[in-house]
Amino acid sequence: MRRIGRRRFLKLAGITALTGATWALAATGSALAAQDAPAPSPLTVPPAPPRPLAGLQTAATFDTPLPVPGDHSFMGLMDGAARIELSATSDPRLPADDAPPAPPLSFQTEHGGHPYWNPTLVIQRGASLRVRLINRLDAPTLLRWHGLIADWRMGGHPVMMLLPGASLEYRVPLRNRAGIYPYHAIAPGFSGRQTHQGMVGLCIVDDEEERAALAAMDIEPLGATGTGAFRASLPAPGSGPSDVPLLFQDRRLDRNGVPVYAPGLDDRISGLVGDVLTINGVPGARMDVVTRMYRLRLVNMCNARILHVGLARPDGAPHPFTLMGTDGGMLQRPLPLQRLLLGPGERADILVDLRAANPGDEWHLVNLPFDPMRRAGATSGGAGAPGEGEAARLLRLRVMQRVDYAQPLPVRLCEFPSEPPMPQGPPRRLHVSRGEVLGRPSWLLNGQPFALRHDTHALLPDDFPAPRVPERATEVWELSNDAMSIPHALHLSGFQLRVLERRGSPPHVAALAMAPSGCSATDSGIKDTVLVWPGETVRVLVDFRDAPPGTQRAALYSRMLECLDDGMVQDVAVP
């Protein structure tokens, strides 16, 4: 495979109109006290202040039915174990009346004689993904299996990106626990544009342990009855799915409502945040529900936007929900929450109990106010981009009818994997800062430029500046972020980690701590992406014991995609 040079812009064709909505926002909300005790039991809800979540007025009607993976073109359910051919394309062959409309760029395939774009792949743990990617764009691209344990060539290491017209056959044995592992375009210099313009989808891994936990709550897993089991909207009250993925992306629109990707200087430094947020491809979405328990699977696939998610009752007052899982699948026990922060690339499975609701009520999934801390911009030095950190409604939950539902919340969800052994010796320290290289502003790692070798050899030369894992064991990494930086969602390709400690957290992050370690509920379980705030140090335990056979090259990068495109990718050598 040829080495590919860096480019800044790609002239795109085939841009289609996307109906948008902007919000009139008011910054309101309230903070929770930090929790100094260990994680509470599933029956204990952390106290919330009595003040309502006022000021969430919006110009959007939130009356667009939420698209749910089913037998339609967009996010259509497909058997992930079947042989699938995906085309990266800017010219989708889709029905004219398809809703939502096709994005400017997409991954397209066919199923049952019908075109699908960005299909939702459902696959059993232990099976193998067999996907052939064909690049029909006029720029390099690659498909990244975010969070999957895979050989570095198969997982989507950035150096494997394909030239126009080239193809790659992915074969990935599924060793991960049940969970959502999104896929998206990745190619240094092009990742931000291609992901922003639509090249994003979901891979859902299923296993018996998760099915048993859901059965106890009478929640049917998405895709459990096969492709085409679910529809895009509810034809009758109560007939919709109780297991619903919510794929978040934001867009920048021009004055005509057309999505455009034209990042400015601040965007390239701090990450592009759009002014319209979509869920499953549409802004202002509505989901019809009944009085029962729902699993909502939050997947943040924005380029850089951080979400601060809460649940609001009809009067605007906060309502607790339950955290069921994080990046790497279910937690051992459910954790009650009032709110959570979700960085790009992170996932959170939450249980929303609507038994206290009444027919006709309108509940909302909301974004709560917080400080985005995007102060590294060279131009404005401002606190953030459009709408980030401000109060907004995300999803309208319209209660249609009362149903009989008496299933209790389980005290225990699963037999959680044992804690990996702690290594001896000092941690590996990795510090992110902003500096200059040859007079050009750049992101630095331990004071030096990030280093990505643009070849496809497994072995990195001895003189190449890459962190080197001495053996297939565990390591403690200290990920620290300069005070004059931005939040970085750091991701290590092909491997999983456990969050051990947070130090120096900003007040709105420290307020979510549930233990003396400073960790929040969303730091629980198995992770592959960790959000590190300016001035913060996060200690993580990285597990290299289960690495695929052969020499591996991992990639440590910021999931703030404009930062990745700006060179914030570091090769890591694994023996």
d(CA 323, CA 485): 30
Q: What angle do CA 565, 568, 572 make, to 5 degrees?
A: 125
d(CA 399, CA 34): 33
**Residues 67-89, mean pLDDT to the nearest whole number:** 91
Q: What mean pLDDT is reported for the chain?
A: 85
Q: Compute the radius of gyration of the chain from its Cα atoms.
A: 22
The predicted pLDDT at position 102 comes to 77
d(CA 97, CA 504): 51
The confidence band for 70, taking pLDDT boundaries of 50, 70 and 90, is confident
With 0-12 CB in 10 A as exposed, 13-18 as middle and 19+ as buried, what is 483?
A: middle
Distances (CA, A) of 191 to 13, 149, 157: 17, 21, 12
The confidence band for 26, taking pLDDT boundaries of 50, 70 and 90, is very low
- Using one digit for the tens of pLDDT, what is the confidence trace for 451-466? 999 999 999 999 999 9
The predicted pLDDT at position 13 comes to 26
The predicted pLDDT at position 98 comes to 61
Which amino acid would we find at residue 561?
Answer: L
The confidence band for 386, taking pLDDT boundaries of 50, 70 and 90, is low
Q: Answer yes or no: are the C-beta atoms of 88 and 134 closer than 8 Å.
A: yes
Choice among 26-30, 270-274, 336-340, 517-521 with the minimum mean pLDDT: 26-30
Question: Is residue 188 predicted with pLDDT exceeding 80?
Answer: yes
The predicted pLDDT at position 15 comes to 22
d(CA 95, CA 98): 5
Tokens of 58: 């919006």
The predicted pLDDT at position 240 comes to 77
Could you give the dihedral angle defined by the CA atoms of residues 345, 211, 79 and 348, in that order, rounded to the nearest 10 degrees?
-10
Q: Report pTM.
A: 0.88
Q: Answer yes or no: are the C-beta atoms of 503 and 535 closer than 8 Å.
A: no
Choice among 174-188, 386-400, 528-542 with the minimum mean pLDDT: 386-400
The DSSP line for 95-140 is: -TT-SSPPPSSEEEEEETTEEEES-EEEEETTSEEEEEEEE-SSS-
Tokens of 18: 């996307």
Q: Which residue has the tokens 């790497």?
A: 328
Question: Is residue 481 predicted with pLDDT exceeding 70?
Answer: yes
With 0-12 CB in 10 A as exposed, 13-18 as middle and 19+ as buried, what is 210?
A: buried
The predicted pLDDT at position 254 comes to 79
In the chain, % helix, strand, coil (3-state, to 5) comes to 5, 35, 55
Question: Is residue 501 predicted with pLDDT exceeding 90?
Answer: yes
Q: What domains are there in the chain, each with its CATH number?
A: 428-574 (2.60.40.420)
From the list 139, 144, 132, the residue with the least C-alpha distance to 86 is 132
**Cβ neighbours of residue 115 closer than 8 Å, sequence gap 6 or more:** 73, 92, 93, 94, 95, 108, 109
- Using one digit for the tens of pLDDT, what is the confidence trace for 343-377? 999 999 999 999 999 999 999 999 999 999 987 64
Higher pLDDT, 223 or 167: 167
d(CA 385, CA 365): 21
**Cβ neighbours of residue 22 closer than 8 Å, sequence gap 6 or more:** 59, 60, 275, 276
Distances (CA, A) of 335 to 383, 397, 520: 31, 22, 11
Question: Is residue 56 predicted with pLDDT exceeding 70?
Answer: no
The confidence band for 34, taking pLDDT boundaries of 50, 70 and 90, is very low
The predicted pLDDT at position 224 comes to 59
**Residues 417-422, mean pLDDT to the nearest whole number:** 94
